[in-house]
Structure 1
Amino acid sequence: MESKAPIVKVNNKEPRSKFSKILYSQTIAPYVFVLPFIITFAVFFVYPVFSAFSMSFQEIVPGESKFVGLDNYQEIWNPMFKKAVMNSAIYTVLTLALLIPIPLVLAVLLNSKVMILKDMFRATLFIPALTSVVVAGTIFRMAFGELEGSLMNSIVTSLGFEKQKWLGDQWLGMMTLLILACWRWIGVNLLYFLAGLQNIPKELYESASIDGATTWKQFTNITMPMLKPITIYVFTISIYGGLAMFTESFVLWSGNRSPKDIGLTIVGYLYRTGWEQFNLGLGAAVGVALLGITLIVTIIQLTFFGMFRKES
């Protein structure tokens, strides 16, 4: 008979180093995983904000900087800055009035059972968001040109109206910006609302139907309350997008010099002072002012929606 070799148990566990114990600690591990985000956030957001805040109190010229206190903030309070703030405010308010209700209604229609070709409509509405802002702005600049042969002038003249200087008038220029914003972002906001609608339990609608609730009552009493978090999120990013708008205006008017500054925004004024005039201190002051305006508006709207108070 063959003799069986004795079974020897081998312990493969090696003693861990102090670093390994810290790394595998359940207390330390979560912080290790979020560390890349913290570093990225600190380097690309926190540091630039504090740097811009420091620069806003300085006069910076090539190779030299000088502390000037609040002079930059006093200098930006001029008619041109007020014009930029007014343009940005009007654009933001009008985009909120369009980019919240329209995508919401379209999302409800796409989520309904009677809607056909849902995937085709969803893809069609989302495709503009994949288009470069530069390409979209160039196409809209040609479509809304002053020549009689441009697309929009061809349409209005065929209807019996006179040709328009779309990009030379205050309100027609703003309307062009709004059409461009709606064309690009309706599909994105629609997907947000559609995702929220698909997470609402269908049993709620079935129970409401059994109780005799109309479609409108189901929308106001079930859909809207359940979509509140999504609506607040879309509202917040739309405020930021409106106040930070620059590229669309820059491309639409082929630069940062629109007629009578009808397309000048806060970011456009920052670009003009910081890069065109190479006054980095003044540009930093404009950036800090924009940050303050955005924070104030966002806090007000979040307070209004009740995000800062506990619901009973």
Structure 2
Amino acid sequence: MEGKEGEALVFKGRGKYRSEEKKDKISAYLYISPFFIIFAIIGLYPALFSLYLAFQKWNGLGEMTYVGLQNFTIVLQDPIFWKSVYNTIVMGLMGTAPQIIIGIILAFLLNQAFLKLKNTFRAMIFMPYITSMVAVALVFGVFFSNNETSLANYILNLFGMDSVAWKTDEWGVKIAISFMVFWRWIGYNTIIYLAGLQSIPKELYEAAKIDGANIMQQFRYITIPLLKPFILLTVFFSTVGALQLFTEPTVFLGGSAFSRTEAMTVVMYLYRDAFNLQSFGTGSATAIILLVIIIIFSALNTFLTSGIGKRRRGYKS
């Protein structure tokens, strides 16, 4: 009898423990549930609804009509869409590739012990990232004005080059917008690289100095290989951001942004179809195509940058 009573107490204790464990799990899920609820409302549902709209013909008010792959066919056969893809890739490369390279160099310089007023320089470099886009549009609208007296044209004239109509010329528009992208995001990448540099043990640099390595050799054989995770991160974010370019060309060109093709990006094409032409089906189809493009380019860039530092054998004095 005593054995049975002991087993009953043990079973009761286990049942109580499991009940408490279950309550803890439920409590944990309740604590994190607000995030998933908000994500489902403003993230997951619009994405799934957009996927559904890609196969429908809808103007936003009337009834939807199933059209299968017709929306994708219309988009892929539109020369303006391919022009927007070309513009997006060109301005993406011109705006993001330099900021990655120069960002590493600036972070390396800001991390040097001999540099004075480090915090001031860091704040100055990061300032463009938090600057209002309205202010950015005003400043760059004046800097890249079509007038002969604009600052950009004045600099070109100093070097004996002709003035450029920055807001109407095919390549002038692309260069101006790419410069805006570079100026706005260079500080963001620099701060990420600076955080990565500060995680590298100083003993490595001291040992390299003892072995006779100069600053360039330290940068090549220590800094770049150990910054690889941060470089991969910024390349991924820069690729996604470049392919979603929308704000800079819109604020730079103003009201004519959606009626011209010199700087129309894929997201601008999507926005034009959905909200200007009330063709939500082709707009959603464009969004799906853009997702595929982002996946392809992100995978390609990650593959190309994943080899950084693999061939590092050492340095020669």
TM-score, normalised by the number of residues in structure 1 = 0.85
1:23-74 deviation per Cα after TM superposition (whole angstroms, max 9, x unaligned): 435xx55544443333333332222211101100000032210000000000
Shift of 1:303: 3.7
Alignment correspondent of 2:87:
87
- Is 1:73 matched up with 2:72? yes
CA contact (8 A) 1:245 1:265 kept: yes
Alignment correspondent of 1:292:
292
Q: How far apart, CA to CA, are the structure 1 residues paired with 2:130 and 2:152?
A: 24
CA contact (8 A) 2:258 2:268 kept: no
- Is 1:185 matched up with 2:192? no
CA contact (8 A) 2:94 2:175 kept: no
Q: How does 1:38-57 map to 2 (within 5 A)?
A: 38-57=36-55
Shift of 1:255: 2.7
- Aligned pair in 2 of structure 1 residues 94, 30: CA closer, same or farther (>3 Å)? farther
Would you say how many aligned residue pairs link Structure 1 and Structure 2? 290
Q: How does 1:296-307 map to 2 (within 5 A)?
A: 296-306=296-306
RMSD between superposed Cα atoms in Å: 2.4
Shift of 1:236: 0.7
CA contact (8 A) 2:258 2:269 kept: no
Alignment correspondent of 1:195:
195
Name the SS of the counterpart of 1:145 in structure 2.
coil
Q: How far apart, CA to CA, are the structure 1 residues paired with 2:157 and 2:93?
A: 31
CA contact (8 A) 1:232 1:302 kept: yes
Amino acid at match of 1:55: L
CA contact (8 A) 1:91 1:174 kept: yes
- Is 1:242 matched up with 2:260? no
CA contact (8 A) 1:84 1:265 kept: yes
Amino acid at match of 2:300: I
Unaligned runs of 5+ in 1: 1-15, 308-312
TM-score, normalised by the number of residues in structure 2 = 0.84
- Aligned pair in 2 of structure 1 residues 274, 22: CA closer, same or farther (>3 Å)? same
Shift of 1:126: 1.0
Shift of 1:151: 2.6
Q: How far apart, CA to CA, are the structure 2 residues paired with 1:188 and 1:108?
A: 14
Alignment correspondent of 1:144:
144
Shift of 1:22: 3.3
- Aligned pair in 2 of structure 1 residues 147, 303: CA closer, same or farther (>3 Å)? closer
Shift of 1:19: 8.7
Amino acid at match of 2:224: M
Alignment correspondent of 1:153:
153
CA contact (8 A) 1:266 1:290 kept: yes
Q: How does 1:1-312 map to 2 (within 5 A)?
A: 22-25=22-25, 30-61=28-59, 62-77=61-76, 78-157=78-157, 160-257=160-257, 260-306=260-306
